[in-house]
Amino acid sequence: MKNLLLLLLLLLPLTGCLDDDDGMETLQDAELTIAFRAEYGGEPLHIQSEAYGYPTGDSLKLLLFQYYLSDLALNDGSGRRQYLLSDIDLIRWNSATDDPTQERTYTVSVPVGTYQGLTFGLGVKPTLNATDPSNFPADYVLNENEFWGPTTRYVFAKIEANAQLEEDGRYDTGLSYHMGSDSLYRGVQLDRSFTITDGSSPHLTIVVDVRNALSSNGQTLDITDPTKQAVHGGNQQVASGVWHRLSRSFRLEVN
Amino acid sequence: MIRHFYLVGFLVLLAVVGCREEPVTGPEVPDGGTITGPDAPTPYALEVPDYLPAPITDPENPLSEEGVELGRHLFYDASIFSTDGNMSCASCHKQELAFTDGLGRALGVRGEPGPRSAMSLVNLAFNPNGFNWDGRSPKLWEQAIHPVEDMLELDNDWEEVIRKLREHADYPARFRAAFGIDHTDEITRELTVKALAQFERTIISADSKFDRVFYQNTEFFTEQEQLGADSLFFVENVPPATLHPGCGHCHNAPTFGDNKFHNNGIEDASSLDDIIDKGYGDVTGSRFDNGKFRTPTLRNIALTAPYMHDGRFKTLEEVIDHYASGGHNLENEDPNITGFTLTEREKAALLAFLHTLTDESLLTDPRYAAPE
């Protein structure tokens, strides 16, 4: 009897949670906007127009930063359910006219309530990465010539810059890091709670710092070393280092 | 006598009225006469091989059999678009040259060169936006507006073109069949360029030796072609410090272009502001885009000399030499323009591979030829 009472007491809160979930009002076809901001060293990223310092004492100008993200989803407060916003997207900054913050609006049906955060996969998820790009329309996000070759698969992220390695005012050393393979695909979980109510949704911003992808956690990619100035399929030791740091450079802002 | 004065006065008035009218009104666009005939366009099924992406559809300008055929007639009709009746779209976009003209800078109706070369028109159905070397036209049909008015191209005005079309014996019925209009005054500039775009979108080039080797499995590369493909064009595993990402980096199969804009290192300027033809920079208004131009497709590249937006390189050998030299290090130069060494054997192999991108069937395909 005592055990039964204990069991009931343990079940009560759980039952309560389930009831809450079941009773939650669900927003049908609601529009949820998520912003994506790129930064360099904590400041909004400006392609080409800004010269950025680098820990080796050199400076660089970014020409391109882009990444695919798969299965972007909201995590509910219990952590048990995810609400998919997008199965694949490509976020790109490649022009001085690009705003450091880009927005995407998703139409979703989600319960009102508190959410725990966002999750996504950095890169193209294996099921899509195994698909021939020509299976998609020419203007689809998976058909922007972001693949290695005609039969191989996607370049998950690119960082391109021109660096000034001598004090001559010339940004004439190309840096080009193209990364992507099933083994590099990473899940990213951004925990920061927010509440969605009928009539208002939080302003969510996924922020990533490009400098951290090149230099963080006590690791700095030596851009003066010619063997570390480019990754194109090969040079996977450099690729995995940049990729690992990049995947840890995301954070979620809630306003 | 008085009668004579009246008569003389009447004649003078007539002459004055006549003198006034001609320069003021110019060519009149006739009001809408009723057009008869079929008015229900037939949807056009654009077929492409499964190794190419699904073509982009334009809800504002869906393809129809009649629209494509109208566009083809317009494309080849020198009597409509140029002031002197001696130039059509096909004058600069010749089928036998993969719809280019063999010139470094296209010649206009007065024989004067424009600033840029005529781009190939193949596979435009896979371009989502940014038509032209500088990307100034978001849509294909919008692209066709400017050449008619450009004094270095057709040097005409659209009012005159529309007048000719409305008065034409054949075109009104074709416009009705393509767009369902009832009156000649519904023939507009927009419908005209949309018909041209419909025809242009049907020009698919996908039957080169490369396609037959790579996708259709009906032929084999020669040893030399294979070397060019594997070691220089499609380079995926670049050894550290080799610094050559391969041509396929920007010219990837199956389209052999990337629908993007790059500074590919051809401008030897002291700063971004000193680049004369600013290209994409003129469109975006950003100096950091100066000197960037659309990546052209390499399909049929052996037929489309001379090369670059201004035809500065006469041969593919010169193009390869440029890329091997590594550009000019301007700050917005694509960092993948790095320079590399190339043996004569490798160069010959790369050239051999580039020649496999020629689609011979395109050059005589009756669907793209002048209507009989």
A170 and B54: CB-CB below 8 Å? Answer: no
pLDDT computed for residue B112 by the predictor: 92
Query: Cβ of A66 under 8 Å from any chain B Cβ?
Result: no
Return the half-sphere exposure (C-beta side, CA atoms, 13 A cut-off) of residue B330. Answer: 24
User: How far away is chain B from the Cα of A91, in angstroms, using its nearest Cα?
Assistant: 15
Of B184 and A27, more confident? B184
When CB atoms are compared, the residue of A94, A134, A152 closest to B51 is A134
- Among A139, A147, A225, the strongest candidate for a mutation testing the B interface, having the largest count of B CBs within 10 A, is A139
Average pLDDT of chain A is 88
Measure the CA angle with vertex A70, ends A65 and A73; round to 5°. 115
Q: How confident is the model at residue A6 (pLDDT cuts 50, 70, 90)?
A: very low
B258 and A145: CB-CB below 8 Å? Answer: yes
Q: How far apart, in whole angstroms, are the C-alpha atoms of residue B42 and residue B178?
A: 8
Phi and psi at residue A183, to the nearest 5°: -70, -20
Measure the CA angle with vertex A160, ends A159 and A165; round to 5°. 120
Of B149 and A233, more confident? B149
Q: Which residues contact A219 (CB under 8 A, 6 or more apart)?
A: A241, A245
Query: Cβ of A240 under 8 Å from any chain B Cβ?
Result: no
When CB atoms are compared, the residue of B240, B287, B338 closest to A174 is B338
- Say whether B282 sits in a helix, a strand or coil: helix
Residue B12 has pLDDT above 80, yes or no: no
Report the percentage of chain B scoring pLDDT > 90.
Answer: 78
DSSP per-residue letters across chain A: -HHHHHHHHHHHHHHHHHHHHHH--EEEEEEEEEEEEEEETTEE--TTT--EE-TTS-EEEEEEEEEEEEEEEEEETTSS-EEEEEEEEEEEE-STTS-SEEEEEEEEEEESEEEEEEEEEES--HHHHTS-GGGSBTTSTT-SS-BSSSSS-B--EEEEEEEE-STTS---EEEEEEE--GGG-EEEEEEEEEEEBTTB---EEEEEEHHHHHEETTEE--TTSGGGSEEEBS-HHHHHHHHHHHHTSEEEEE-
- Among B51, B233, B252, the strongest candidate for a mutation testing the A interface, having the largest count of A CBs within 10 A, is B252
Q: Which two tokens stand for residue A227?
A: 């063997």
Q: What is the pLDDT of residues A130-140, one digit of tens each?
A: 998 888 999 99
Residue B280 has pLDDT above 50, yes or no: yes
Query: Cβ of A106 under 8 Å from any chain B Cβ?
Result: no
Q: Thinking of the domain B209-356, which architecture would CATH place it in?
A: Orthogonal Bundle (1.10)
pLDDT computed for residue B242 by the predictor: 58
B214 in Cβ contact with B49 (< 8 Å): no
Phi and psi at residue B344, to the nearest 5°: -60, -35
B336 and A134: CB-CB below 8 Å? Answer: no
Q: How far apart, in whole angstroms, are the C-alpha atoms of residue A154 and residue A71?
A: 16
- Residue ranges per structural domain of chain B: 22-204, 209-356
Sign of CA dihedral B315, B316, B317, B320: positive
Q: How confident is the model at residue B241 (pLDDT cuts 50, 70, 90)?
A: low
Phi and psi at residue A95, to the nearest 5°: -145, 150
B342 in Cβ contact with B316 (< 8 Å): no
Residue B4 has pLDDT above 80, yes or no: no
User: How far away is chain B from the Cα of A153, in angstroms, using its nearest Cα?
Assistant: 11
Q: Which two tokens stand for residue B25?
A: 């009104």
pLDDT computed for residue B265 by the predictor: 95
Query: Cβ of A140 under 8 Å from any chain B Cβ?
Result: yes
pLDDT computed for residue B245 by the predictor: 64
Q: How confident is the model at residue B5 (pLDDT cuts 50, 70, 90)?
A: very low
Q: Which residues contact B86 (CB under 8 A, 6 or more apart)?
A: B78, B109
Q: What is the pLDDT of residues B70-110, one digit of tens each?
A: 999 999 999 999 888 889 999 999 999 999 999 999 999 88
Out of A97-106, A198-207, B5-14, B251-260, least confident range? B5-14
Fold of the domain spanning B22-204: Cytochrome Bc1 Complex; Chain D, domain 2 (1.10.760)
Closest CA relative to residue B89, chosen from B26, B146, B8: B146
- Among A63, A64, A135, A168, the strongest candidate for a mutation testing the B interface, having the largest count of B CBs within 10 A, is A63
H helix runs in chain B, sequence order: 2-25, 65-76, 78-81, 89-92, 140-143, 145-149, 158-167, 171-179, 189-201, 209-214, 223-228, 280-284, 316-325, 344-355, 360-364
Contacts of A228 in chain B (CB under 8 A): 240
Q: Give the CA distances from residue B216 to residues B7, B184, B206, B235, in Å, rounded to whole numbers and listed in that order.
A: 84, 47, 11, 22
The pTM of the whole model exceeds 0.90: no
What is the average per-residue pLDDT within B305-333? Answer: 95
Q: How far apart, in whole angstroms, are the C-alpha atoms of residue B178 and residue A182?
A: 48
User: How far away is chain A from the Cα of B89, in angstroms, using its nearest Cα?
Assistant: 26
Report the percentage of chain A scoring pLDDT > 70.
Answer: 89
When CB atoms are compared, the residue of B50, B241, B332 closest to A48 is B332
Residue B244 has pLDDT above 70, yes or no: no
A71 in Cβ contact with A119 (< 8 Å): yes
A235 and B249: CB-CB below 8 Å? Answer: no
What is the average per-residue pLDDT within B341-351? Answer: 92
B54 and A48: CB-CB below 8 Å? Answer: no
Closest CA relative to residue B187, chosen from B13, B34, B20, B370: B34
B236 and A233: CB-CB below 8 Å? Answer: yes
Residue A10 has pLDDT above 50, yes or no: no
A110 in Cβ contact with A196 (< 8 Å): yes
Contacts of B241 in chain A (CB under 8 A): 226-227, 229
Residue A35 has pLDDT above 90, yes or no: yes
Contacts of B288 in chain A (CB under 8 A): 47-49, 95-96
Residues 259-278 of B with CB under 8 A from A: 259-260
Residue A43 has pLDDT above 60, yes or no: yes
When CB atoms are compared, the residue of A97, A150, A160 closest to B335 is A160
Residue A2 has pLDDT above 50, yes or no: no
Q: Which residues contact A237 (CB under 8 A, 6 or more apart)?
A: none
Q: What is the pLDDT of residues B18-61, one digit of tens each?
A: 433 333 333 444 556 999 999 999 999 999 999 999 999 999 99
Quote the distance between the C-alpha of residue A192 and its chain's center: 15
Q: Which residues contact A252 (CB under 8 A, 6 or more apart)?
A: A117, A118, A190, A191, A192, A204, A205, A206, A207
Query: Cβ of B48 under 8 Å from any chain A Cβ?
Result: no
Query: Cβ of B44 under 8 Å from any chain A Cβ?
Result: no
Of B230 and B126, more confident? B126
- Say whether B350 sits in a helix, a strand or coil: helix
One-letter-per-residue 3-state SS of A181-247: CHHHCEEEEEEEEEEEECCECCCEEEEEEHHHHHEECCEECCCCCHHHCEEEECCHHHHHHHHHHHH
Chain A residue closest in CA terms to B125: A138
Measure the CA angle with vertex B52, ends B47 and B54; round to 5°. 60
Q: How confident is the model at residue B334 (pLDDT cuts 50, 70, 90)?
A: very high
pLDDT computed for residue A13 by the predictor: 41
* Tally of CB atoms within 10 A around A219: 11
Residue B239 has pLDDT above 80, yes or no: no
A143 and B243: CB-CB below 8 Å? Answer: no
B332 in Cβ contact with B288 (< 8 Å): yes
A241 in Cβ contact with A221 (< 8 Å): yes
A150 and B214: CB-CB below 8 Å? Answer: yes
Query: Cβ of A229 under 8 Å from any chain B Cβ?
Result: yes
User: How far away is chain B from the Cα of A218, in angstroms, using its nearest Cα?
Assistant: 23
* Tally of CB atoms within 10 A around A146: 23
Phi and psi at residue A180, to the nearest 5°: 165, 125
User: How far away is chain B from the Cα of A170, in angstroms, using its nearest Cα?
Assistant: 7
Query: Cβ of B126 under 8 Å from any chain A Cβ?
Result: yes
Q: How far apart, in whole angstroms, are the C-alpha atoms of residue A116 and residue A78?
A: 8
User: How far away is chain A from the Cα of B349, in angstroms, using its nearest Cα?
Assistant: 19
Q: How far apart, in whole angstroms, are the C-alpha atoms of residue B237 and residue B252?
A: 15
Q: What is the pLDDT of residues A179-217, one digit of tens each?
A: 999 999 999 999 999 999 887 888 999 999 999 999 998
Contacts of B286 in chain A (CB under 8 A): 95-97
Q: How far apart, in whole angstroms, are the C-alpha atoms of residue A39 and residue A45?
A: 4
